[in-house]
Amino acid sequence: MLPESSAANKATAYEAATAFLGEWGPFQRRVFFLLSLSVVPIGLTAFSIVFLADTPDHRCALPAHLNLSAAWRNSSIPLEEDANRDGALVPSKCSRYKVENLLNYSERGLLPGADVNLSNVPKEGCLDGWEFDHSVYTSTIVSEWNLVCDESWKRPLTSSIFFCGVFTGSLISGQLSDRFGRKIVMFATIALQAVSKFIQVFSPSWIVFCALYFIVGMGQISNYIVAFVLGMEVLGPRTRTLFSTAAVSLFFGLGYMLLPLIAFFITDWRMLLLALMLPSCLCMPLWWFIPESPRWLLSQGRTEEAEAILRNAADMNNIEPPTVIFSSLQNRVKAKKRRPCNICDLLRSPNIRWISITLWVIWNTITIAYFALSLNTANLNGNPYFNCFLSALMEMPAYVLSWVMFRWCSRRLSVFSSLSSGGLFLLIIHLVPAHLTALSITFEMLGKFAVSTAFAVVYAYTAELYPTVLRNTAIGTCSTASRIGSIIAPYFIYLRTYSVSLPYILMGSLTAVAGLLSLLLPESFGMPLPDTISHMQQFPGCCQTTSNSKDEEKAGEQRSQVKRSRPQINQQL
């Protein structure tokens, strides 16, 4: 029987049994690039709300047949101070002078400013709707359904509803793929995204749009999580590191970079949604080229199916496979039908409970900073398309750096250094004078660079910490916990209404604290990918399970075995 993994032998029984495949043959290259390619549509959709729900310049509309002189028509909108423009006077977006008064002054031949003090003219709301500027966008959902002024609260809520869908998808995707398989859940969620986006194009109201946007978010994160875990489980140790830290993130960033380019040429929100749907449809044929995870099949006792996939991989790599691939594992795997894992398993023992709660806090903080900075590009000075492209571009070197750090550096120090530097950059922004907008944008982009690096590292770090039977559930629940941050991230941006620097102070402080917390996690650098909880306990910085917790876990295992009338197994799962 193959020995269980330890720090000494640096290989799990599964990895030893599949070592004959090598690391970078045609099979691994195909899985590597196709799984990475399936992430591109997610990058396209993730921040599409920046353009779908951007607020064009607008002002109150006047009645179509109002007989006003040119002077009074040009002076019908009062001037107000704009906090985002250093208090400069700009036309009001939500009020106008009372039409009855303007008509009276115009008929009497009075001139604004000269004969009438405008500060004494009463104001009213935009009773006849708004006039939107169409120089940047033909239409957005804001101009379509007048989501401005008293209805402006709907705009951040739209983003929050999307992230509520992401929250729900994170909650269920891990357990669904642990129960039904990685591949079927991955392609089911790709199809769900495509269908939902197509129907969303024909949304008759804001409520229908949001309901469908919720479903899109649910499918998107499920697709990402399952594709990520599938690659982690199919690829070898060295290729896995490149895939988890750089490839998936770079292809996501590629989709993100393509978003402003597509939006630049398609300025109508309905047509933009239709364009963003097509890449998801193009990913569906990948079903015939991406295999199920042999690790997952083996964990379900489906040894023959796992061996069949590996034999096909060996044929593709021109390698002669062993007669029996899992000779040392087959009998043991057949003897045990593992119970489905759920969130309770992440809280069962003190060690796993501490790791899980700490990771939930770190993930939550990273998503607040990451999504708030990404969604904030529309509020920065300059061209919104260029700002979005620049924000996406900053992620590319960040993901390359995350791979370098993950390849040669301590996991804890990688997360700590990226989070602490990101917090520092964000805290510096409020010290920059208001007129130095280029400098403040520079620090914001550096903050985005650091937070993106942390995001890529912590994703792969989490996958390394948990065993196979818990890995997808663990990543799913971490992603779920983090979605609280993404749900409230749009409202961090809204804090600009009260103070332009307040969002950066809060994000910087939270990010720095999360960096300190990361130092309390176990170190997985140089350790094999764990298959069981006992493997996980061997990580440096992770205390060995106490006898009480072992007894508790064993009792829980026995209870689940009795319910299923299965023979008792000796290895802890």
Digit-coded pLDDT (tens) for 7-51 = 334 446 777 777 777 778 888 888 899 999 999 999 888 889 989
- SS3 of residue 81 by DSSP: strand
Distance CA 555, CA 349 (A): 12
- 404 burial via Cβ count (<10 Å: 0-12, 13-18, 19+): middle
The pLDDT of residue 370 is above 80 = yes
For 338-545, CATH gives 1.20.1250.20
Q: Which of 161-170, 369-378, 415-424, 563-572 has the highest mean pLDDT?
A: 415-424
Tell me which residue of 240, 321, 229 sits closest to 24, measured CA to CA: 240
Report the range out of 55-64, 87-96, 503-512 with the highest average pLDDT. Answer: 503-512
pLDDT digits (tens, 9 = 90+) for 200-240: 999 999 999 999 999 999 898 888 888 888 888 888 777 87
pLDDT of the residue at 269: 92
Q: How far apart are CA 254 and CA 407, in angstroms?
A: 22
Q: Tell me, what's the pLDDT at 570?
A: 31
- The pLDDT of residue 486 is 85
Strands 58-60 and 130-132: antiparallel
Q: How many CB atoms lie within 10 A of CB 387?
A: 21
State residue 327's pLDDT score: 65
Q: How high is the pLDDT of residue 518?
A: 86
Give the mean pLDDT of 258-284: 92
Residue-level pLDDT at 210 = 94
pLDDT at 340 over 70: no
Query: Mean pLDDT, to the nearest integer, of 144-166?
Result: 88
Amino acid occupying residue 509: S
Q: Name the pLDDT band for 152 (thresholds 50, 70, 90).
A: confident
**pLDDT attached to residue 328:** 53
Residue 229: predicted pLDDT: 84
**Mean pLDDT score of the chain:** 79
Distances (CA, A) of 99 to 119, 124, 129: 15, 8, 13
Closest CA to 363 of 205, 156, 251, 514: 514
What stretch(es) of the chain map to CATH 1.20.1250.20? 338-545
Highest mean pLDDT among 82-96, 278-292, 313-327: 278-292
**Number of helices (H), then strands (E), in the chain:** 24, 6
pTM metric for this prediction = 0.76
Nearest Cα to 543, choosing from 562, 565, 520, 559? 520
The pLDDT assigned to 270 comes to: 94
Determine phi and psi for 368, rounding to 5 degrees: -60, -50
Whether the per-residue pLDDT at 363 is higher than 80: the answer is: yes
Cβ neighbours, 10 Å, residue 453: 30
Rounded to an integer, the average pLDDT of 408-428 is: 89
pLDDT category at 568 given cuts 50, 70, 90 is: very low
Distances (CA, A) of 291 to 25, 78, 179, 307, 312: 15, 63, 17, 12, 10
pLDDT digits (tens, 9 = 90+) for 508-564: 999 999 999 888 888 776 666 666 666 666 565 555 544 344 444 444 444 444 333
* Residue 463 contacts residue 229 (beta carbons within 8 Å): yes
- Considering only residues 106 and 193, tell me which one the structure prediction assigns the higher pLDDT: 193
pLDDT by residue (tens digit) across 138-151? 999 999 998 888 88
Q: How many CA atoms are closer than 13 Å to the CA of 480, on its beta-carbon side?
A: 17
